[in-house]
Amino acid sequence: MAEAIASMLSARIVLLVRPFRIVSRRFGAFVPPGDPRVRNRPPATLREARIAREIRWAIAASAPFMPFRSVCLQQAMAGHAMLKRRGVHSAMHFGAGLGGKGSARPIDAHAWLDAGGVKVTGYPVAPNLAELGCFV
């Protein structure tokens, strides 16, 4: 949990001081959702799946207690960094859709993370969101 807290705090600070276009260079290639690098990824091994589930738990358990509102992007960035440190490949997805009826925001945006089929952060994804692309 300490690493999850530190990773979410780091993501928060980085996003406050640097533009996302600069920060995102560390995430890999941004590709459309139908790209073969996304569709044809092998499932996680037992070891990778265990690690991804442990990271999912650590982020979900610690996010409500952060001294700031830890949103989906910070959680996805933290999970991505934690998985990368362990040699586990992940995909960070980005989507957008029209805000729901009565919503204060005209557009909803969301980030979610998976690792070889294991849902790490940002799930479930709202049905009104269309995936725009992902970092692989």
Q: pLDDT digit of tens for each residue in the chain (136 aa)?
A: 999 999 999 999 999 999 999 999 999 999 999 899 888 888 999 999 999 999 999 999 999 999 999 999 999 999 999 999 999 999 999 999 987 666 677 788 999 999 999 999 999 999 989 999 999 9
The string of DSSP letters for 6-43 reads HHHHHHHHHHHHS-HHHHGGGG--EE-TT-HHHHTPPP
Model confidence, pTM: 0.92
